[in-house]
Amino acid sequence: MDIGTVNSLSYEDFVDVFGNIVEKCPLVAAAVWSQRPFSNLAQMETAVNDFIDSLTVSGKEGVLRCHPCLAGRELHSGSLTADSREEQRQAGLTSLDPAEAEHLQRLNVQYKQRFGFPFVICARLNDRATIEHRLVERLANEPTQELRLAIEEVKKICRLRLQSLVAWANKL
């Protein structure tokens, strides 16, 4: 799809196409629809990032709570979105042995108890060893620092999902 097609989408179609750029959070796509027309993908990405940045702390935490735990219950039950399933597969999280899966699950529980939302990292830009390392490392962060880092990871995920949906030729 090119940027012209993006700009011509009805509200319903726009939210249908872009409703998962932020995991299970179609509110983001709904909020940026009214900012069309976008001259390019970068402008659309900026609109998404600006909306996320404008959210209150509780709104940002809500965005993070929409994300699944990595290699968690949703992966094993088959209820992940297609985007998340593919991203976790690319990072090697779908092929963990039972001990690795249990260890990651324990870390996810610790993280969620500490911060109140799941650990979010752009799986497409990391492998499972790096993900585990970052999870352990980020457990030591202060809550405000971690909220900021987690939101930056959401933006990375969003950028890659947007690039997958909108033709490369229109991103500049």
Q: Which residues are designated catalytic?
A: 67
Q: CA 159, 111, 92, 122: dihedral to nearest 10 degrees?
A: 10
Tokens representing residue 80 in the block: 């992940």
Encoded amino acid at 56, one letter: T
25 backbone dihedrals φ, ψ, rounded to 5°? -135, 70
Asked if 2 and 166 count as a contact pair (C-beta separation under 8 A), the reply is yes
Asked if 104 and 111 count as a contact pair (C-beta separation under 8 A), the reply is no
Q: CA 165, 168, 169, 172: dihedral to nearest 10 degrees?
A: 100
